[in-house]
Structure formats: C-alpha cells, structure tokens
Amino acid sequence: MAGATPSQITNEGALSAAQRIPAHRILKGTAVPGLCVLLSACEGPLSTLAPHGSGAARVASLFYAMITVAALVWLFVMALAVFAARVAPGENSERTGRKFILFGGILLPVVLLGTLSWWSFGLTNELLEPGDGLVVDVTGERFWWRVQYESESGPVISANEIRVPLGERVEFRLRSTDVIHSFWIPSLGGKMDMVPGTVNRLVLEAEREGTFRGACAEFCGLAHTLMEFDVVVMAPAAFDEWLAQQAGPAARPPTSLASRGLDLFLQNGCGACHRIAGTAADGRVGPDLTHLGSRRSIAAGTLPSEVGPIAGWISHPAAVKEGVLMPPYPMLDSDELVAIATYLESLE
C-alpha cells in the first residue's frame, strides 16, 4: 500500500482481522461480560433480587415470571422466523395470515399481558393492606429522612434510620415537605413516592433480622444519590426495649469534654435547627439529635456516626453533600469541633 500511513495500515489490518473472527466468538466475547454486569445487580445492599421481606419476595417472583414469559415469547417468535425462512419458505395463504394475526397478534398478547397485569394489580393490593401493628411516619426532606414512631410514652422522633420488629406488618405513612422523593427498601419490598401535600402508605414485613439499606428512588436534587438510610430489623422484644429507651431524653454529658461540647452546641445556635430532648435545643428544621450516637450513620447514610466524621460534617457539610441546606461553621476551631462531636457521639 504505497503512500499509506502507519495508522492506516494498523487500522486496516485490525479491520481485516476482525472480519475473520467467527460471529459466534464475537457473541461469546460480548455476552459473558454483559451477563456478568447484569448478574452483579443480584447481590448488594440495594439488591431487589435478594429479598428478606414478604413484599420483596412477591415482587421478585413477579419479576422472574415476567422474565420467563418474555424469554418464552422471544423463543417462540425466533422459532417461527426460522420455520418461515428455512423450513417452509414461500408464500402463505391469506387465511393462514389472518389466523396468525388473530392468535399470535391478538389472543396471545391479551392472555399473557392480562394475566401478568392481574397478578401485579393483586400484588399491589396485598402490599397495601394495612397491618394492626406499628405505624411509622417518614418525611422526605432535602436530603434526609425525618422518622417518627408512636409509643406509649408519646412520639419518638428520629432521623435517617428506621428500626422495625421482625415478622410484623409495619405501615409507613410517607410525606414530603419540598419536592417528590421516593421511599424504597429493596430487600424488604416495593417503593412508594412521597408527594408534597399527600400522604401515601406502604406496608412492609421483614422476614429476617439484620441491617438493610434504603434509598430515595426519585431524583430530588444535587445530593439525591447521598440520600440513603439504614433499616434495622430487630426481635420484637428487643424493638420494644429500644423504642422505650428512645422515648426518653438525651443522656447527660459523660465527660467534661462532652459537657463543653453541649455548651458550644447551644452557644453557636445549633439548637435553633436541631432538637435534643432534655436540653434547651428545640429546633425542628433539621434532624432530631436526641439519640444520634445510637445511629449507625449521619448525613442520611453518608458518614459513620463517629467523632471525626461528625466534626468534619459540622465544619463544612457542603463538602460532603453538595446542595445541603445546613450552613457551615468555619469559625469553630478543631478543639471546639471535637468537643461538639464528642457530645453528639455520646447521645445513645
């Protein structure tokens, strides 16, 4: 190839080599990685195909049924195509064509889609049947979750973490104060939108103890992907004990450093937005911090509930979650931040 550049020679050589590769090898080389990508979604903290709740198990069964029906329909269509092209090529009568349209184009889709629709509508009604047990109010806000339980001692307010008893149908009453959010705990059940001005209901029943992950499934702003929460499923007796403990006021500062942290918390106006029961802090704008130390994480599942992350979050929250409404506190030095974080981490 006189006058050809090295890049042209390389590209043409690669093209000719690719043309010599059998089609089945190309399909195998692309299908295996693609299948691995798909199967990677079968496990993980937000997997819908690893059900640990009655609702999630029913949703997974419906999913597998739809996949099976779709695969059978695809195989049937491919078999018809092979039959028409290879086994019996040629023209067909008008009567045969009408029968094919009637049965394959009308009756079969009506039966299959009607059956699957009937199943899915029935499943939706089952998942919304109210239980006679715990009711949890969850409000979606940018970009965190306000949680409230009803107990014999009065309302128990929490944030960004939900605890439920094992084997009990729990009704969630879902609200939003700003934009549309979507409440979703994949391992336990389906999702439900949280619409401003409306209260939607979702009923879930956990079938295994453990900690599961929930998330907002509706794009709601800059920090949408950092709006998650933990769901802790507990034995009923342990849950009742936890709920009674959560209904009480915050513990007194256990050390002089924590006591200084409480003073700094109040002096810097943190109590205008956050509530800590048993103290002068009675704000309702941000998350309730009465028992923050008992939660697994802060900032809606973004950071661990430890002194260092808490101090960093107070100093500059927008560096962690862009678009967050909490203001930064750059005027606090490191010792003051550690003191406040130590106090908050002690609130169990």
Would residue 262 count as lying in a domain?
A: yes
Q: Which of 237, 269, 300 delimits the end of a domain?
A: 237
Does residue 129 sit in the same domain as residue 183? yes
Residues 232 and 319 in one domain: no
pLDDT at 125: 76
Q: In what order do the strands lie in the sheet with 210-216?
A: 161-165, 228-234, 210-216, 181-184, 191-194
Which pair of tokens denotes residue 103?
């049965």
Q: What is the DSSP string of 284-324?
A: -SS---TTGGGSSEETTTTEESSHHHHHHHHH-GGGTSTT-
Q: At which of 185, 203, 237 does a domain end?
A: 237
Residue with tokens 């979703």: 184
Considering the domain boundaries, does residue 243 fall inside one?
A: no
Per-residue pLDDT, 77: 86
Enclosing domain of residue 265: 256-345
137 and 221 fall within a common domain: yes
For residue 2, being part of any structural domain is answered with no
Domain membership of residue 249 (yes or no) is no
pLDDT tens, the chain, 348 aa long: 445 444 443 344 433 444 444 544 544 454 455 545 455 455 667 777 788 888 888 888 888 888 998 999 899 889 888 887 887 777 777 787 788 788 888 888 899 889 888 888 887 777 777 767 899 999 999 999 999 998 877 889 999 999 999 999 999 999 999 999 999 999 998 889 999 999 999 999 999 999 999 999 999 999 999 999 999 999 999 999 999 999 999 999 999 999 999 999 999 999 999 999 999 999 999 999 999 999 999 999 999 999 999 999 999 999 999 989 999 999 999 999 999 999 999 998
Q: In the prediction, which pLDDT does 149 show?
A: 95
DSSP string, 90-153: S---HHHHHHHIIIIIIIHHHHHHHHHHHHHHHHHHHHT---SS-EEEEEEETTEEEEEEEETT
Based on the domain organization, do 100 and 177 belong to the same domain? yes
**What's the total number of domains in the chain?**
2
Number of Cβ within a 10 Å radius of residue 73? 14
Whether residues 175 and 269 fall in one domain: no
Residues 227 and 132 in one domain: yes
Q: Are residues 175 and 270 in the same domain?
A: no
Q: Is residue 56 one of the residues assigned to a domain?
A: yes
Domain-embedded: residue 24: no
- pTM of this structure: 0.77
Residue 278 sits in the same domain as residue 166: no
The CATH number given to whatever domain includes residue 285 is 2.60.40.420
Whether residue 60 sits in one domain with residue 171: yes
Residue 31 lies in a domain: no
The reply to whether 61 falls in a domain is yes
Give the residue from 237, 267, 298 where a domain finishes. 237
Same domain, 177 and 227: yes
Q: Is the dihedral of CA 6, 7, 10, 11 positive or negative?
A: negative
- 89 and 186 in a single domain? The answer is yes
Residues 290 and 219 in one domain: no
